[in-house]
Structure 1
Amino acid sequence: MLAARLGAFAAQVSMERVPASVRHAARLRVLDTLGAGLAGVQLGNHLPLAALLESSGTMQVWGERWTRSAREAALVNSFAVHSTYLEDGSRYTGGHPSAVVIPAVLAMGQARRASGKEMLAATLAGYEVFLRLGRAVYPACVRLGFQSTAILGAVSSAAAIARLLGLNAEAAGHAIAIGASLGSGFKESLKTPQTQPLQVARGCEAGILAALLAQQGQPGAPAVIERGLLPGFGGRISGEDEASVLAGLGVDYLLPQTYFKRHAGCRGNHAPVDAALDLALAEKLTAGDVASVRVGVDSVTRAAAIEPPRDGKQAQMSVGFSVALALLKGHASVYDYTDAVLNDPALRELMQRIEVGVDPKLDAGYPQRRGAWVEVTLRSGKELRGTVPNARGEPECPLTEQEVREKFRTLAAPRIGARTNALEQAVLALEDTDGEALAALLALQDK
């Protein structure tokens, strides 16, 4: 059964047997996730949820002075991460494993005083389960109305925490089986970015609970993945699809294939933004030069887009807003997705000249390619066209390590100030630190 096979893998993940390049890729993803979470806290995105937390405990809520139980700390940290839409992701799953795996691992890592090496192993276990199951159900799950991060959150978090708890293969399989029943979330919820991250954060928290139940000896349904999760979220699943989940397991690690974002907002916005920025740079354009803009995207991207957005939160899902922001400011920063920027008369006027539509030809390559094109008509009458096969940050056109580190500093510094460098160095040498030390660096301190 798939749960048992995945559990056997999760239980035996050992950093000594993982290639150095994969270990380093995992460290960079922890760093990137912390930056996204700290930005979410700085923006106050977590505060409505945080006001409802009731537990006591010593697990750190990132960028805050206060602490909670491991489960509630993971819940609010996951919410903060996903609220920014800045975390890494996978175009082959349409999801974001970091948002559900890493907050769970760091909260339980602090609780157990786990070593950095153990936390990295747990992170890798969670990612692999997420990415392998995600490839089997995506993009069918989106067409059925589900959000992949939410439905895969609990099962992947459970795998990670099973590894962190040191569960044996049988118990880890039960943790994964229990977690497989706990993920839930709809694509339509993306229309309300203020609360949509809750379905992701619940999956993160649920995976911890699933692993703790398995640690007590409680069972999960043995065939729940092949008879429940895969057909339920992916439609008709064949034996070939099931085999693909296990192909290369423990040998071919998928974690390095996740992309890093260099812009804020939904990933579907990024190829259009890259195309617009490339044109602006090549032609030395300003927003005043632009008479009109046409943007072509795939149908999955267009279905998730909110055009026009009503507020700064909805702007995270708007291709038109993101392209206008890029042409007007030369970037698409998370700190620009606000009501104030959306209500800027110059930006609103430019958005009225931008049309976003579906190009069926872009669907043909999806999700192997998630490209876009931008056509700009200048006031002079000149017409320009830019095409991007995939947004920057994908394995085919990766961000450099320096770009990932600079992104982290930009996001983290507004919240934790002078300790940004110490946190960066601790994560990049994660095997030499532990959960408690990392949590101390993430605590907000009086200036």
Structure 2
Amino acid sequence: MLTRKLGEIVSSAVRSGTSESAREAAKPGIIDTVATMLAGRREAPVTILLRACGALPAGAAKEVAGLSATRAAEAALINGVAAHVLDFDDVALRGHPSAVMVPAILALAAELGSSGREALDAYVVGYQVWGELVQREPGMHHIKGWHPTSVFGSVGAAAACAALLRLDAGRAAHAIGLGATQSAGLMANFGSMSKSFQAGRAAQAGVWAARLAQEGFTAGADVIEHPQGFLNAFSPAGKADTERPLADPAQGWTIAQQPVSIKKYPTCFYTHRTLDSILAARALTDIPADQVRDVQVHMSREHATVLRNHRPETGLAAKFSIEFAAASALLFGRAGLSELTDSVAQDARVQALMSRVSTVLSTDYSAEWQGAAVADWAVIHLADGRRIKTAPVTHAQGHAMRPLEKPDLDAKFGDCVRAGGAGVDADRLLGKLWRLEDEPICELWS
């Protein structure tokens, strides 16, 4: 029944649309993802992928790496990798929903000639299905080794693409099942090129799933809830709730109730509270980096486990290192795109300071954020005998409970476009995205 009911959510939205409030709530995630797609377009994983793809087939969907028009499936793959490669994309629903869904939606919408309003509705629907599934799991997928972004992303993208294709409930359910059977992704790849590839493949899987279902390709009728189906197969302890009824979108869409968090730093979101805490202390107190004897970062075991790289030597690996985050904050007073590079990670000063950073595991858990401590902070000991305890941070800047203001979102967009060097008119594109409900997707890049 659960698989079928999810298909009905898609078909209902096809018939009646979603809501104005949900579409407005979807815009920040779409805007931020276009920004990170453009920022990441020249990164090594993207350029290698483009070479490996060879000559791309002609189509109507824009891929950001070579700025050519190709088929939706190829564009979704390339743009999904570009969106996620810098780890600067938004966070929600225990993963990165927009980095998977937006590349799939924009690619397929361009191919279909869909309106911006239809693309927004597709995002809302995909987000709803993703949220329905991920919130049925009491455990933490990361600890088992799964990458939730790509595991749930292929299903969310499939639902979104099914909405764009205007599939009925039965075919939408098959699309969701076909997305589920392509789910994959390992946490052990965090800090490597494969992490962003997992997101790109999930985006591509969503396009393929919906296209296959449209043509009559089928999946198991109970593939989501079956004892050997999606939820139970990926459940860390086999405790997924397959019985609870679906939330009624008429009572509020998930995107409006649980909006995305927009990243201020291009690092794993689990580093952001510590970064905010140390940077705030550094702004108020003289903390000479060369006088730091040791740094003790207080955080949960679960978050420390995900931050698996303790002495990273590449910019990618540094994104999943609390040691690098602390060192960058203390040495440079920032942790931006210019710091998350191989050369900075290999800098002797950074390596030396990272060796003096350790974690203290907190058992005081947040009631609202799975696997997180109530707050993160640091204790810094200096050679002159001073002990500096930074202020505990419950919600990082950019968190949905502490959102960035529109001028900050716009500034990040401009910075990302410039970093990507695509020659895009950032202000013009940004204006179209804020008015997306009135813009045909095929004219978005013109």
TM-score normalised by length of structure 1: 0.91
1:383 to 2:384 alignment: no
Equivalent residue, structure 2, for 1:293: 295
Structure 1 segment 262-341 matched on structure 2, within 5 A: 262-305=264-307, 306-341=309-344
1:13 to 2:25 alignment: no
Equivalent residue, structure 2, for 1:87: 89
1:310-354 deviation per Cα after TM superposition (whole angstroms, max 9, x unaligned):
322211111111111112222211232111111223323322322
Higher helix share: 1
Equivalent residue, structure 1, for 2:413: 408
Q: What percentage of residue pairs aligned between the two structures are identical?
A: 29
Instruction: Summarize the Cα distance change of 1:282–1:319 in structure 2 as closer, same or farther, 3 Å threshold.
Output: same
Q: Distance in 2 between matches of 1:354 and 1:416?
A: 38
Q: How many residues align?
A: 435
Instruction: Summarize the Cα distance change of 1:199–1:138 in structure 2 as closer, same or farther, 3 Å threshold.
Output: farther
Q: Distance in 2 between matches of 1:242 and 1:85?
A: 34
Query: For the Cα contact (< 8 Å) 1:46–1:80, is it kept in 2?
Result: yes
Q: Distance in 1 between matches of 2:219 and 2:142?
A: 26
Deviation at 1:364, TM superposition (A): 7.6
Q: Distance in 2 between matches of 1:26 and 1:100?
A: 14
1:96-146 deviation per Cα after TM superposition (whole angstroms, max 9, x unaligned):
111111000000111111110111111111111112211223643223221
Q: Secondary structure at the residue paired with 1:358?
A: strand
1:225-256 deviation per Cα after TM superposition (whole angstroms, max 9, x unaligned):
111111111233365x5416x12334322224
Equivalent residue, structure 2, for 1:425: 431
Deviation at 1:363, TM superposition (A): 7.3
Query: For the Cα contact (< 8 Å) 2:65–2:78, is it kept in 1?
Result: no
1:401-438 deviation per Cα after TM superposition (whole angstroms, max 9, x unaligned):
22112111111123234601111001000011112111
Q: Secondary structure at the residue paired with 1:335?
A: coil
5+ long unaligned stretches in structure 1: 441-447
Equivalent residue, structure 2, for 1:243: 244
Deviation at 1:218, TM superposition (A): 2.3
Query: For the Cα contact (< 8 Å) 2:300–2:371, is it kept in 1?
Result: no
Instruction: Summarize the Cα distance change of 1:112–1:418 in structure 2 as closer, same or farther, 3 Å threshold.
Output: closer
Q: Secondary structure at the residue paired with 2:343?
A: helix
Deviation at 1:215, TM superposition (A): 0.6
Q: Distance in 1 between matches of 2:65 and 2:296?
A: 40
Instruction: Summarize the Cα distance change of 1:326–1:112 in structure 2 as closer, same or farther, 3 Å threshold.
Output: same
Q: Secondary structure at the residue paired with 1:243?
A: coil
Query: For the Cα contact (< 8 Å) 1:298–1:363, is it kept in 2?
Result: no
5+ long unaligned stretches in structure 2: none
Query: For the Cα contact (< 8 Å) 2:43–2:82, is it kept in 1?
Result: no
Deviation at 1:41, TM superposition (A): 0.9
Q: Distance in 2 between matches of 1:14 and 1:170?
A: 13
Equivalent residue, structure 1, for 2:163: 163
Query: For the Cα contact (< 8 Å) 2:300–2:372, is it kept in 1?
Result: no
Equivalent residue, structure 2, for 1:194: 193
Which amino acid is 2:376 matched to? Answer: A
Instruction: Summarize the Cα distance change of 1:138–1:74 in structure 2 as closer, same or farther, 3 Å threshold.
Output: farther
Instruction: Summarize the Cα distance change of 1:215–1:360 in structure 2 as closer, same or farther, 3 Å threshold.
Output: same
Q: Secondary structure at the residue paired with 2:238?
A: coil
Instruction: Summarize the Cα distance change of 1:237–1:52 in structure 2 as closer, same or farther, 3 Å threshold.
Output: same
Which amino acid is 1:124 matched to? Answer: V
Query: For the Cα contact (< 8 Å) 2:162–2:210, is it kept in 1?
Result: yes
Instruction: Summarize the Cα distance change of 1:30–1:403 in structure 2 as closer, same or farther, 3 Å threshold.
Output: same
Equivalent residue, structure 1, for 2:208: 209
Instruction: Summarize the Cα distance change of 1:139–1:424 in structure 2 as closer, same or farther, 3 Å threshold.
Output: farther
Equivalent residue, structure 2, for 1:345: 348
Which amino acid is 2:417 matched to? Answer: A
Which amino acid is 1:222 matched to? Answer: A
Question: Which has the larger displacement, 285-294 or 335-344?
Answer: 285-294
Query: For the Cα contact (< 8 Å) 1:15–1:23, is it kept in 2?
Result: no
Instruction: Summarize the Cα distance change of 1:50–1:364 in structure 2 as closer, same or farther, 3 Å threshold.
Output: same
Instruction: Summarize the Cα distance change of 1:238–1:139 in structure 2 as closer, same or farther, 3 Å threshold.
Output: closer
Q: Distance in 2 between matches of 1:17 and 1:168?
A: 14
Q: Secondary structure at the residue paired with 2:444?
A: helix
1:373 maps to which of 374, 377, 382: 377
Query: For the Cα contact (< 8 Å) 1:297–1:372, is it kept in 2?
Result: yes
1:160-198 deviation per Cα after TM superposition (whole angstroms, max 9, x unaligned):
0000011112211121122111111111121x4222221
Deviation at 1:362, TM superposition (A): 4.2
Query: For the Cα contact (< 8 Å) 2:225–2:231, is it kept in 1?
Result: yes
Deviation at 1:11, TM superposition (A): 2.0
Equivalent residue, structure 1, for 2:140: 140
1:233 to 2:234 alignment: yes
Deviation at 1:286, TM superposition (A): 4.2
Instruction: Summarize the Cα distance change of 1:366–1:420 in structure 2 as closer, same or farther, 3 Å threshold.
Output: closer
Question: Which has the larger displacement, 277-286 or 258-267?
Answer: 277-286
Query: For the Cα contact (< 8 Å) 1:259–1:398, is it kept in 2?
Result: yes
Q: Secondary structure at the residue paired with 1:336?
A: coil
Which amino acid is 2:85 matched to? Answer: S
Runs of 4+ deviating beyond 4 Å: 14-19, 362-366
Instruction: Summarize the Cα distance change of 1:63–1:201 in structure 2 as closer, same or farther, 3 Å threshold.
Output: closer
Instruction: Summarize the Cα distance change of 1:154–1:360 in structure 2 as closer, same or farther, 3 Å threshold.
Output: same
Deviation at 1:384, TM superposition (A): 1.6
Deviation at 1:17, TM superposition (A): 5.9
Q: Distance in 2 between matches of 1:301 and 1:334?
A: 22
